[in-house]
């Protein structure tokens, strides 16, 4: 079945460690997105990518990094520079083109710093 | 500056009644898209409805309709005949103008349907 897979579902990280969240899609979508969700703050955009080997900072990119070496994959690294990384992270993808299309989401990764 | 504003942190509605969730947006461009998503307590994001800025008719999908008022920059979601399963967070989002396909979300409205 086509869709977006995020892994792992739950992730625990020690302070000072980098950690990478995986996002894979087999929908042949060009655009991919990473959002962070905190209670009462909705979804905030971290990074997004329109095509392979190109990505843009979103509204809260500090302390995060991404890569887009393959169309299907858009991993997010939460670095030790991120002051408060405990949150729910959502990855999304969407088809681009003349018609606007909705974003499809993965099931999310809940990251906890211990 | 906030691009998407949802001013209702929480809403209650009686089962079988209709409810309107508010969303206003900020853009000076003419080409953009507006979306609504539902997020149940399980955390998954469920797409509900889409409205393009050039669409002349308000979008409808089953019990969901979008009250699009371009001049007022509002895109309110109307849910008719509310069901208990409609209890969830609802997010308004905008595909911003420009070539980078940026999609930003509001902070959401928590809807609770009362039996």
Split at pLDDT 50, 70, 90, the class of B29 is confident
A35 to B105: CB separation less than 8 angstroms, yes or no: yes
A56 to B100: CB separation less than 8 angstroms, yes or no: yes
Kindly list the residues from chain A whose CB atom is less than 8 angstroms away from the CB atom of residue B43: 88, 107-108
Edge-to-edge strands, sheet with A76-78: A4-7, A19-25, A76-78, A64-66
Summarize pLDDT for A21-57 with one digit per residue, the tens: 999 999 999 999 999 999 878 899 999 999 999 999 9
Contacts with A, B 39-58, CB within 8 Å: 43-45, 47, 50, 52
What is residue B112's predicted lDDT score, i.e. its pLDDT?
98
Summarize pLDDT for A8-29 with one digit per residue, the tens: 999 999 988 999 999 999 999 9
What is residue A100's predicted lDDT score, i.e. its pLDDT?
66
For residue B115, pLDDT over 60 is answered with yes
What is the distance between the alpha carbons of residues A18 and A82, in angstroms, rounded to a whole number?
A: 9
Decide: A110 and A11 in contact? Cβ < 8 Å. Answer: yes
Summarize pLDDT for B57-80 with one digit per residue, the tens: 999 999 999 999 999 999 999 999
Q: Residue A65 pairs with which residues in a beta bridge?
A: A77
Dihedrals phi, psi of B85, to nearest 5 degrees: -70, -5
For residue B97, pLDDT over 80 is answered with no
Among residues A104, A96, A36, A47, the alpha carbon closest in space to that of A75 is found at A47
Average pLDDT over residues A45-70: 95
Is A27 in CB contact (< 8 Å) with chain B? no
For residue B1, pLDDT over 60 is answered with no
Is A33 in CB contact (< 8 Å) with chain B? yes
Average pLDDT over residues B27-42: 91
For residue A98, pLDDT over 80 is answered with no
Is B10 in CB contact (< 8 Å) with chain A? no
Kindly list the residues from chain B whose CB atom is less than 8 angstroms away from the CB atom of residue A88: 43
């Amino acid at each position: 079945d086509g869709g977006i897979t995020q892994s792992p579902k739950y992730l625990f990280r020690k302070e000072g460690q980098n950690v990478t969240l995986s996002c894979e899609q087999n929908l042949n979508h060009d655009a991919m997105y990473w959002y962070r969700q905190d209670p009462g703050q909705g979804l905030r955009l971290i990074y997004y990518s329109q095509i392979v080997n190109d990505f843009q900072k979103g509204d809260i990119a500090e302390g995060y990094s991404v890569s887009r070496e393959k169309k299907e994959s858009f991993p997010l690294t939460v670095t030790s520079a991120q002051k408060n990384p405990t949150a729910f992270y959502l990855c999304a993808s969407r088809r681009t083109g003349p018609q606007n299309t909705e974003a499809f989401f993965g099931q999310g990764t809940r990251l906890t710093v211990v | 500056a906030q691009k998407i504003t949802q001013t209702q942190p929480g809403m209650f509605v009686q089962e079988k009644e209709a409810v309107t969730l508010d969303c206003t947006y900020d853009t000076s461009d003419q080409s953009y898209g507006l979306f609504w998503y539902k997020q149940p307590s399980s955390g998954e994001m469920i797409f509900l409805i889409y409205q393009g800025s050039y669409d002349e008719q308000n979008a409808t999908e089953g019990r969901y309709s979008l009250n699009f008022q371009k001049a007022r920059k509002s895109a309110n979601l109307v849910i008719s005949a509310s069901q208990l399963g409609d209890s969830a967070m609802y997010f308004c989002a905008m595909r911003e103008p420009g070539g980078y396909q940026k999609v930003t979300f509001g902070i959401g409205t928590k809807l609770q349907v009362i039996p």
